[in-house]
A and B are shown apart, each in its own frame.
Chain A
């Protein structure tokens, strides 16, 4: 996939292509990590020292085995890369991988000593695990529909790649008080949840100029906060100088004495957003005055170079396929349901964006086998341009599917457990690996997700529950994003027993509704009670929702209903028996 401007064919890549510099850097990173692993195994590096180094190369040591988190930069994969991940799953793991809520791919069973070999294999397809964990700048995330979404104003991927390169092995910002997550969106519907990131960037066009709005201090975890806007209309040339200013203030003044108070959100809150902004602006002015600061300003040529990697592929001039599809949908009710929930409008006529759901019943959310990975890679080539995304809802997305191939794709996906027609619905649960796999977890999360999916699988469509985000985390680290679930479930430990705290009204923010943090409904419940409580919540919603909301023919959504009627009716129903 090298650029071939002379051929007369479209010079499209769909993603960033490594040049010799990138290849050398990643190869040197693998050598460096191989040496560190060998020194650890030889006893020259202590457990604690090696911990810091392996985390920065994606390796956790979990309850059952090490867990390797491979970076999927801003959730974008080529078919060749997905096939390489399938090989890793088969050769080094137990035949499956796990899609994470940060758009990465995790493997649960690699041997610590073979991780350098895995990384060397991945480097051959221009992949790595650099900074996927540890107290450093993590993989930057974005909209899984970037480049194809109808509501997009600027494609965020070129800026994500610029940030990826800038943040890789940064001399000053690789040893922060705590982990640091940056998200970028360029659409009006914020699918990247920029409100709940350490830095959230909204890239827009104003009078033909690309500018950024900058939020800081959002986050989930034990202290959920919506980020504060500290800068609007930041010129693209100053993207990196401004990020540097934020990072320096955080690196110097973020707390290092208590890991639970070390995220930037705590610093922003302690200083107030206004004072934090003043400090960042003072720092930024100094940076812009320095030689290195001036050199760090992005030249137009660099932005243009990045943009060429993400130029639209050579779309065919297609007719709108509505008529064909409506015939197919009438004949196949299941296809119709899938079309409604898992297929989204594309920028171009005759194309569609497809969500391939990993949330089939009986399978932990986000888990995919090596065979499924290879099939998805094949379908990406067959029905699109070989481009695949991972969404923060832990599903695959095929961004460029020809509409006249949708029926065939659905049939193939159905036969391979990848066509659960539940994207955005209650059973499309976001869920962390939980106590089955993770040593941090207080409680199991996957069996809870399965019990809920089992209970509601048939029911949700019959009563038209509509969009409903249910998110489950096994502990306060909130990897399952429970704070921004319309219904959130958090595993807690009560004297050695697993309990679950239910919250309502969280939202990660979109064009229709601002982000909000869910509120706890009441005392936590045992695992056997969770499904019953969700049932009570749904009953209250169905009884109280307005038959139509606004201009839409659809009934009032769960979120809007909750925002209108408040917590009290839910609380009463759930705890009525207890009093």
Chain B
């Protein structure tokens, strides 16, 4: 499954969702919230309906799993992780990640996108920045157009 960063570059890294406790300590493990420890150095794996807990800001990496590409809860969760918790690490969109959603994801604070295998990589790269600028402020550009 190809993963893109904010610049549309394909990245290869070891992050994987840890299905069982035995794998939680492996390098690159994303651990579900109920097993994740703030001081473990592990990545954190969240559903779109997760509540942003203060301890999450210590995570090395957070992945948010979209059950459907049009589930906007993941966008609000990302905003809260960035703005309310001050999480500065890599935030990856997982699951049903759609090329036409990438600009919303990016503006809400995601920094990488794991695309399902069937998605066209070139389409996704082309859809990353359909607009030169937007009206409102966002995580990516906090200043709204009326203050620019």
Chain A contacts to B: CB under 8 angstroms: 21, 24-25, 28-29, 31-32, 35-36, 39, 44, 49, 52-53, 135, 165-166, 168-177, 240, 248, 251-252, 256, 286, 290-292, 295-296, 298-299, 302, 305
Name the residue of chain A whose CB is nearest to the CB of B132: A24
Q: Does chain A have a CB within 8 A of B84? A: yes
- Of the A-B pairs whose beta carbons lie under 8 Å apart in the complex, a sample of 9, sorted by A's number, is A25-B133, A44-B120, A169-B131, A173-B75, A175-B70, A177-B72, A292-B139, A295-B137, A299-B147
Of the candidates A36, A176, A248, A291, the one whose C-beta lies within 8 Å of that of B142 is A291
A49 in contact with B72 (CB, 8 Å): no
B142 in contact with A171 (CB, 8 Å): no
Measured between alpha carbons, how far is A53 from B101 in the docked complex, in Å? 10
Q: Does chain A have a CB within 8 A of B76? A: yes
A32 in contact with B147 (CB, 8 Å): no
Q: How many A-B residue pairs have CB under 8 A?
A: 105
Of the candidates B70, B79, B104, B130, the one whose C-beta lies within 8 Å of that of A32 is B130
Known: A21-B133, A165-B135, A171-B104. A298 touches B146 (CB 8 A): yes
B104 in contact with A175 (CB, 8 Å): yes
Task: Tell me the smallest distance from the CB of B86 to a CB of chain A, in Å.
Answer: 10
A28 in contact with B130 (CB, 8 Å): yes
Known: A39-B123, A166-B135. A172 touches B75 (CB 8 A): yes
Q: Does chain A have a CB within 8 A of B19? A: no
Chain B contacts to A: CB under 8 angstroms: 49, 69-73, 75-77, 79, 83-84, 98, 100-101, 103-104, 107-108, 120, 123, 126-127, 130-140, 142-147
Task: Tell me the smallest distance from the CB of B117 to a CB of chain A, in Å.
Answer: 15
Q: Interface majority SS on A: helix, strand, loop or mixed?
A: helix
Known: A25-B131, A44-B123, A171-B107. A165 touches B76 (CB 8 A): no
Cβ of B98: which chain A residues have Cβ within 8 Å of it? 49
* 4 further interface pairs, Cβ-Cβ under 8 Å (given A28-B130, A172-B79, A290-B84): A172-B72, A172-B104, A295-B147, A302-B146
Measured between alpha carbons, how far is A175 from B103 in the docked complex, in Å? 13
Cβ of B71: which chain A residues have Cβ within 8 Å of it? 175, 256
Measured between alpha carbons, how far is A166 from B145 in the docked complex, in Å? 9
Of the candidates B72, B136, B138, B140, the one whose C-beta lies within 8 Å of that of A176 is B72
Task: Tell me the smallest distance from the CB of A152 to a CB of chain B, in Å.
Answer: 25
Measured between alpha carbons, how far is A290 from B138 in the docked complex, in Å? 12
B76 in contact with A296 (CB, 8 Å): no
Cβ of B143: which chain A residues have Cβ within 8 Å of it? 295
Of the candidates A31, A168, A240, A251, the one whose C-beta lies within 8 Å of that of B130 is A31
B73 in contact with A251 (CB, 8 Å): yes
Measured between alpha carbons, how far is A252 from B48 in the docked complex, in Å? 9
B135 in contact with A168 (CB, 8 Å): yes
Measured between alpha carbons, how far is A177 from B76 in the docked complex, in Å? 13
B137 in contact with A292 (CB, 8 Å): yes
Measured between alpha carbons, how far is A484 from B35 in the docked complex, in Å? 52
Cβ of A29: which chain B residues have Cβ within 8 Å of it? 131
Measured between alpha carbons, how far is A36 from B98 in the docked complex, in Å? 12
Cβ of B107: which chain A residues have Cβ within 8 Å of it? 171
Task: Tell me the smallest distance from the CB of B125 to a CB of chain A, in Å.
Answer: 13
Cβ of B137: which chain A residues have Cβ within 8 Å of it? 292, 295-296
Task: Tell me the smallest distance from the CB of B40 to a CB of chain A, in Å.
Answer: 27
A290 in contact with B83 (CB, 8 Å): yes
Name the residue of chain B whose CB is nearest to the CB of A244: B136
B139 in contact with A175 (CB, 8 Å): no
Cβ of B130: which chain A residues have Cβ within 8 Å of it? 28, 31-32
Cβ of A177: which chain B residues have Cβ within 8 Å of it? 72
Name the residue of chain A whose CB is nearest to the CB of B72: A175
Name the residue of chain B whose CB is nearest to the CB of A33: B130
Name the residue of chain A whose CB is nearest to the CB of B67: A256
Of the candidates A171, A248, A302, the one whose C-beta lies within 8 Å of that of B134 is A171
Cβ of B147: which chain A residues have Cβ within 8 Å of it? 295, 299
Cβ of A299: which chain B residues have Cβ within 8 Å of it? 146-147
Name the residue of chain B whose CB is nearest to the CB of A293: B83
Measured between alpha carbons, how far is A24 from B69 in the docked complex, in Å? 27
Task: Tell me the smallest distance from the CB of B56 to a CB of chain A, in Å.
Answer: 16
Of the candidates A21, A39, A256, the one whose C-beta lies within 8 Å of that of B145 is A21
